[in-house]
């Protein structure tokens, strides 16, 4: 059997050979991975752990929180607050940033996360996941506030997700390609199972919530309609469709076999730029996709170039196989 490389060894070798990962960032990534193992355990218990169903509260998005949303959020906070690698954290489940308490040393990194993406799938046993993004705290005074987080996605120093599906798989980039680690539950460690992941530039598979079709803008309607026309239409080939309603699972499929994912702006809430959140969903996923040779735009601009105005800002998302993203983006220019 080929030698098994653990996440720890991978990160140490990346640090030693590539110089990509300062020791504090390596510690941060190890802590996040350990937290994801804990979340995976909680998710896997399901009804036996009394963790299904709603918590009876709403998050900053006005969405009903599931018990596991809160558990996952707490696991990430408690795992990361004492290590000395972070100045503060931000989460989909918390209105404001969480500044590392004074009783712990402050570090130079900012950690953002959607602790459990795809919550609507928890109770029906469909894949969900944790998405995370790491920024450096801007130089300057020791205090930290929300404005320190408002950096474009191209400023990220690490990004990844952990998908809790048939396997528990951690996918990570520090700016030198994308690597995948599968959790070996017998050893209790993540093992490298794929690296230098590449997304095919072309695809015949799109992911979108078709029930929103009547609300889409014309360029998206045109793009999807041409896909649906298949071989006899302008695309000259048939397309398949997938929609898991867990961004983590849809993006994992795209990183594994290609595809294009769209959650575009629509007329249901025209004042909102989209449904997905820029800072802790679109930015980390867009960087992973770009690092694997794909593309990610909001229909008009590269997502990683967007300068956020507020922490929980939403954005229209089109990402995946490069040629498809470029096509649907071009339709927005006409």
What does the alpha-carbon distance between residue 138 and residue 198 come to, in Å, rounded to a whole number? 32
Assess contact for 259 and 267: CB atoms under 8 A.
no
Minimum distance, C-beta of residue 142 to ligand P6P, in the bound complex (Å) = 34
Minimum distance, C-beta of residue 324 to ligand P6P, in the bound complex (Å) = 17
187 is a contact residue toward ligand P6P (CB under 6 A): no
81 is a contact residue toward ligand P6P (CB under 6 A): no
Minimum distance, C-beta of residue 263 to ligand P6P, in the bound complex (Å) = 6
Assess contact for 266 and 304: CB atoms under 8 A.
no
Tokens for 312, please give them.
């929980």
Exposure letters 58-90 (e unless 16+ CB within 10 A, then b): ebeeeeebbbbbbbbbebbbebbbebebbbbbb
The contacts of residue 287 (CB under 8 Å, 6+ apart) are 133, 153, 154, 156, 159, 173, 304
* From 143-151, 158-166, 239-247, 266-274, span contacting ligand P6P (CB under 6 A): 239-247
209 is a contact residue toward ligand P6P (CB under 6 A): yes
Which of 39, 247, 254, 303: binder of ligand P6P (CB under 6 A)?
A: 247
The interface with ligand P6P within residues 16-45 (CB under 6 A) comprises: none
* From 93-101, 242-250, 287-295, 296-304, span contacting ligand P6P (CB under 6 A): 242-250
285 is a contact residue toward ligand P6P (CB under 6 A): no
Assess contact for 163 and 248: CB atoms under 8 A.
yes
320 is a contact residue toward ligand P6P (CB under 6 A): no
The interface with ligand P6P within residues 167-186 (CB under 6 A) comprises: none
Angle formed at CA 141 by CA 138 and CA 145, multiple of 5 degrees: 65
Tokens for 306, please give them.
């967007």
Nearer to ligand P6P (CB atom), residue 108 or residue 117: 117
Which of 117, 148, 266, 290: binder of ligand P6P (CB under 6 A)?
A: 117
Query: Which residues of the shown chain bind ligand P6P in the complex (CB under 6 A)?
Result: 117-118, 120, 209, 245-247, 263, 275-276
């Amino acid at each position: 059997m080929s030698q098994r490389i653990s996440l720890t060894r991978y990160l140490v070798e990346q640090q030693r050979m590539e110089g990509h990962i300062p020791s504090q960032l390596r510690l941060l990534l190890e802590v996040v991975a350990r937290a994801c193992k804990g979340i995976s355990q909680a998710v896997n218990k399901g009804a036996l752990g009394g963790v299904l169903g709603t918590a009876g509260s709403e998050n900053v998005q006005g969405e009903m929180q599931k018990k596991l949303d809160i558990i996952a959020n707490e696991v990430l906070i408690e795992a990361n607050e004492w290590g000395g690698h972070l100045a503060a954290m931000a989460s989909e489940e918390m209105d404001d940033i969480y500044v590392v308490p004074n009783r712990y040393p402050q570090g130079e990194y900012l950690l953002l996360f959607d602790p459990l993406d795809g919550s609507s799938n928890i109770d029906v046993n469909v894949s969900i996941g944790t998405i995370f993004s790491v920024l450096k705290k801007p130089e300057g005074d020791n205090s930290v506030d929300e404005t320190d987080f408002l950096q474009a996605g191209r400023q990220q120093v690490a990004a990844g997700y952990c998908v809790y599906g048939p396997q528990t798989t951690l996918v990570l980039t520090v700016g030198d390609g994308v690597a995948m680690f599968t959790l070996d539950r017998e050893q209790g460690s993540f093992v490298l199972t794929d690296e230098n992941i590449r997304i095919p530039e072309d695809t015949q598979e799109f992911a979108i919530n078709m029930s929103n079709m009547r609300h889409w803008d014309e360029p998206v309607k045109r793009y999807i309609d041409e896909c649906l026309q298949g071989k006899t239409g302008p695309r000259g080939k048939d397309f398949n469709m997938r929609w898991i309603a867990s961004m983590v699972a849809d993006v994992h499929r795209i990183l594994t076999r290609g595809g294009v994912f769209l959650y575009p702006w629509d007329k249901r809430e025209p004042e909102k730029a989209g449904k997905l959140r820029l800072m802790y969903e679109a930015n980390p996923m867009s960087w992973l996709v770009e690092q694997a040779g794909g593309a990610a735009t909001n229909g008009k601009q590269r997502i990683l170039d967007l300068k956020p105005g507020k922490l929980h800002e939403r954005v229209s998302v089109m990402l995946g196989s490069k040629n498809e993203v470029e096509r649907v983006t071009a339709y927005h220019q006409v």
